[in-house]
Amino acid sequence: MKEYLKIANDPILWLMCLPVVVLVAVQAVIFTKRAFQTAHIVKLTKEECWHAFRVGAISAIGPAIAVFIVMLGMMAVVGAPVTWMRLAIIGAAPTELTASAMGAKAMGVEFGSADYGVLQYANSVWAMTLNGSGWLLFCGLFTHKLDSLRDKIAGGNTKLMGEIGGAAMLGTMAYLTTGHILAGGGRLIASVIAGLAMAVLVNISKKVPGLTEYNLGIAMLIGMFTSVLIIGF
């Protein structure tokens, strides 16, 4: 086990992460109660509310499994407590892994490499935390102004807004992937195979929409296992 993982999985860290997870659970209960209490405003009956609740709970199983798959890889690098906390409040493992990698790069090392130690791990945690804090502050301060901002940037063209967001995400992912491609070897193989697998999965998802939430986790697993098999031979 790498030295920093002893700290990353320390029982004290579990206790430090616990209050945040408990707060999320409390918020979920409060939001659910408020939804039921105000249902009469939109003329929903209690039966309809419970039906909607069940549909939402069942629909959440797919995304939860997808997050769980990616979570396993995240736990191996940043430890179980922080993974548990971050995914409890964000729920987007790819975003958290991206922030972790950026935190490591800011320290001049590759995320999860042999040079990735305690200081680099701490920087990754800071990157994840500040990244999430930015979203919360932005939502609290500017959500009510997004409509006017959207109209100014894209003239009300929602398709253009989606393209701008997609371009930003592609640029970020390309930046993070380029280092692995240039390194060659197993990292190159894993990157290429995972990319091809993702392209195939996206096309399959057009016919099987329920597969969409699993695409990232499946592509990562295919890339990792294929790389191990090829190098092994």
What are the tens digits of pLDDT across the range 124-180?
889 888 887 877 787 778 777 766 766 677 666 667 777 777 787 788 778 878 877
Rg over alpha carbons for the chain, rounded to the nearest Å, is 20
One-letter amino acid at 107 equals M
Q: Which residues contact 144 (CB under 8 A, 6 or more apart)?
A: none
Instruction: Note the pLDDT of residue 213.
Output: 63
Helices assigned H by DSSP within the chain: 3-8, 11-37, 46-59, 61-78, 80-89, 93-106, 118-142, 146-154, 158-183, 185-207, 215-232
Q: What average pLDDT does the segment 177-204 reach? A: 85
CA atoms of 103 and 117, how far apart (whole Å): 12
Q: What is the pLDDT of residue 12?
A: 92
Give percent of the chain above pLDDT 90: 9
Q: Could you identify the residue written with the tokens 């393209």?
A: 163
User: Which token pair is 15?
Assistant: 């206790």
Summary mean pLDDT of the chain? 81
Q: Please give the share of the chain, as a percent, with pLDDT higher than 70.
A: 89
Mean pLDDT computed over 107-117: 83
Report residue 1's pLDDT band, with 50, 70 and 90 as the boundaries: very low
Q: What is the pLDDT of residue 70?
A: 72
Tell me how far apart the alpha carbons of residues 99 and 88 are, in angstroms, rounded to a whole number: 16
pLDDT of residue 131: 81
- Can you tell me the distance from the alpha carbon of 116 to that of 104, in angstroms, rounded to the nearest whole number? 7
How far lies 202's CA from each of 122, 206, 212, in Å? Answer: 35, 7, 7
232 has pLDDT over 70: no
In this prediction, residue 30 has a pLDDT band, given cuts at 50, 70 and 90, of: very high
Q: Is the pLDDT of residue 25 over 80?
A: yes
Q: What are the tens digits of pLDDT across the range 55-100?
A: 777 767 656 776 777 777 778 888 889 888 888 887 677 778 788 8
What does the alpha-carbon distance between residue 180 and residue 62 come to, in Å, rounded to a whole number? Answer: 30
- Report which of residues 42 and 48 the model is more confident about: 48
Which residues 6+ apart lie within 8 Å of 52 measured at CB? 44
Work out the average pLDDT over 107-128.
Answer: 86
Mean per-residue pLDDT, 189-201 = 88
- Evaluate whether 165 touches 173 at the Cβ level (below 8 Å): no
Q: Which residue has the higher pLDDT, 25 or 159?
A: 25
Minimum mean pLDDT range among 21-30, 98-107, 132-141: 132-141
Cα separation, 134 vs 37, in Å, equals: 31
Q: How far apart are the first and last CA of the chain?
A: 26
Residue 178: other Cβ atoms inside 10 A: 11
6 or 155, greater pLDDT: 6
Cα(101)–Cα(120) distance, integer angstroms? 10
